[in-house]
Structure 1
Amino acid sequence: MATMKDIAKHAGVSTSTVSHVINNSRYVSEEISKRVNNAAKELNYFPSALARSLKLNRTNTFGMLVTNSTNPFFGEVVKGVERHCYQLGYNLILCNTEGDHARMRDSIETLMQKRVDGLILMCPSLEGENLEVFDRYPSLPVVVMDWGHISFEADKIQDNSLQGGYIATQHLIDKGHQDLGCITGPLIKYQAQKRFEGFKKALNDANMTVNPDWIEEGNFECEGGYDAFYRLLAKGNLPSALFVCNDMMAMGVINAATESGIRIPQDLSIIGYDDLQISRFMAPALTTIHQPKFRLGKAAVDALLNRLKGPDTEYEIVELEPKLTERQTVSAII
């Protein structure tokens, strides 16, 4: 690999002159600058990112830790993070925790060795755990996404799941449905709790009661929705509409309903949550609550940059508003 000394010899100048040209640290005549740049090109010279990072104490690199999941929601958010990093001239190192505390700790240690400027955590499977690793890096900027209680200080980016659950349920009520059920996410998780609270609040505001026989808990995966539907079906009488608290479970519900000869939306209306890209290609296309996934990713990157600029400012919670996306899985009751 070529060095500045090699370039200096090739261009017939001093090493300090090469340094001034490459780092633009002092005026060098156009003729000499051209010789140096041509020599660097001919020798395939690339400036050392490590040396530059040591000098500036910045690597222009962020780390992101995600929980492994078959849910494409994670991938769509990561895409927003990566794209915004690229637009701003930052690199992104992505690590998969698989929901394991030890693996998260090891990944953070690895990222610190890479001298990342900040971390984005999207690991709701570790919600509420004490992550003592951050006690060792108190000055490291950290942003958490789609997470509930945390035991360390950090900025948070999330969607307003309470409002989203309310909007979903209100849409079913506006379509004339009186018998409403809900397949929740795992209720130990903050976002699942908030979506279910939104469901109950909408019913309460409409002077309607929650029927406990029409409430089942899922796991935010297709299998969870599939199994929850069959538990509902085993009880006998189904509601006319279901709020399923994410799109993955809604897919499982539609699959189970089709197997059981129940037509969507003629016999059962369904509304999901997340608005995954694949939701509009389902048959029928899924009515759902749109989460601004690209904006979630962008907001996380911006929060890290703001923290780097103002490390002593108060920690913030940035909450983005969901909205209804109407498609074909909700019918009106006349």
Structure 2
Amino acid sequence: MKVTIKQIAELAGVSIATVSKVINHKDQKITHQTRDRVLEVIKEQGYIPNRIASSMVTKRTKTLGLMIPDITNPFFPELARGVEDGANEMGYTLILCNSDNDLQKEESYLEMLQEKMVDGIIFTASSRRTTMSPAFLRLNTPVVSVDREIEGLRLEGKITVDNEKGAFEAVCYLIDKGYRKIYHISGPLSSKTAKDRYAGFLRAHEEKGVLPVEEHLIEGNYTSTMGYDHTIRLIEESVDFDSLFCGNDLIALGAYKALHEKNMRIPEDIGIIGFDDIYMAEIVSPGLTTVRQPSYTMGYKAAEMMIACIKNKDGVRKEWVLETKLMIRGSTQ
């Protein structure tokens, strides 16, 4: 037979209200001895709180939704781990949704998360998302954005990195190393992330007094296939280039594969810099020079920000712009 909260209260020798406060982490005014006794009885009896019943009273489910666009990109599982750790530490559980950069799927998940009555949604938009749809206009759940934004979407807060500065430092490093014929294989410029990285690419050329090569921008998506296909094209069309600044590490790894297949050496023939510093950047040979984003920290801070918003805490910082770091490895000489 399922143990009830009333039975827990009787076994612990306290009121039902006291047990409820302990379960819901509202036990600041309860003595340590009483709280420990209640928790011990809960453990002994294998009691599992009925969160649905509790949410009907508190109007809270202690659940967050997390929407990411591509779970196969190692950047996002690390971000998700940060969100999950932050949520768990504060007594919240997480529903993870992977949109696969599919706009319809993204919208369906938003509606599902609201049906599940999550207390807040932490959201990284698809790189294909350029405008708000009716699903976004109907949102009545607090939203914190991470990494990417949607113009016009009402947010409780946002976590980003300085993409322009990160790209600027990377391309300046290439130029300082003697590279002059730099091509930029970018994600879709419909996203602010890609726009900012391209702006950093251009600013580095301007400040270093180096003209970008003609047709230096190659726009596409954030996949290894994109990097591979366009690097093969550059080689087969005999394009004169000495380096690639890639919109993310997956693009860079696709470029690695193409260069290896064409018997071109990294960095002796072609230098490469990526963006993200996913775990594979250290594993490939030579190691990939890349711009590190603090993906775990981004996720953790998003959870902190969201839960502070849910609890209506005063003085909550609504925007974090985190610093990137250039990780110099063997793909640049």
Which bin holds the TM-score, normalised by the shorter protein?
Answer: 0.7 to 0.9
Distance 1:41 1:198, change over 3 A: closer
1:252 alignment partner in structure 2: 254
2:63 alignment partner in structure 1: 61
2:245 alignment partner in structure 1: 243
What is the rounded CA distance, in whole Å, between the counterparts of 1:312 and 1:256 in structure 2?
Answer: 52
1:269 alignment partner in structure 2: 271
Residues 1-334 of structure 1: pairs in structure 2 closer than 5 A? 1-4=2-5, 19-23=16-20, 43-138=45-140, 140-154=141-155, 155-310=157-312, 316-331=318-333
Distance 1:192 1:89, change over 3 A: same
Higher Cα radius of gyration: 1
Alignment deviations for residues 35-90 of structure 1 (CA, whole Å, 9 cap, x no partner): x8887666533332222233222222111111235311111111111111122222
- For 1:195, the aligned partner's letter is R
Q: Aligned residues, how many?
A: 323
Over aligned residue pairs, what C-alpha RMSD do you find?
A: 3.0
Q: Which moved more, 1:261-270 or 1:232-241?
A: 232-241
Q: Which moved more, 1:256-265 or 1:59-68?
A: 59-68
What is the rounded CA distance, in whole Å, between the counterparts of 1:37 and 1:311 in structure 2?
Answer: 27
Distance 1:156 1:11, change over 3 A: closer
What is the rounded CA distance, in whole Å, between the counterparts of 2:258 and 2:241 in structure 1?
Answer: 15
- TM-superposed deviation, 1:311: 8.5
Distance 1:251 1:38, change over 3 A: closer
What is the rounded CA distance, in whole Å, between the counterparts of 2:222 and 2:11 in structure 1?
Answer: 62
Q: Which runs of 5+ in 2 are unaligned?
A: 22-26
- TM-superposed deviation, 1:313: 8.5
| TM-score computed with the length of structure 1 as normaliser | 0.85
- For 2:62, the aligned partner's letter is N
Q: Which moved more, 1:87-96 or 1:43-52?
A: 43-52
Distance 1:313 1:141, change over 3 A: farther
8 Å Cα contact 1:67-1:122 kept in structure 2: yes
- TM-superposed deviation, 1:218: 3.4
| Structure 2 SS opposite 1:125 | coil
What is the rounded CA distance, in whole Å, between the counterparts of 1:12 and 1:173 in structure 2?
Answer: 70
Distance 1:184 1:102, change over 3 A: closer
Distance 1:56 1:180, change over 3 A: same
Distance 1:224 1:304, change over 3 A: same
8 Å Cα contact 2:281-2:288 kept in structure 1: yes
Distance 1:213 1:27, change over 3 A: closer
Distance 1:42 1:204, change over 3 A: closer
| Structure 2 SS opposite 1:124 | coil
Distance 1:105 1:185, change over 3 A: closer
- For 1:60, the aligned partner's letter is K
- For 1:19, the aligned partner's letter is I
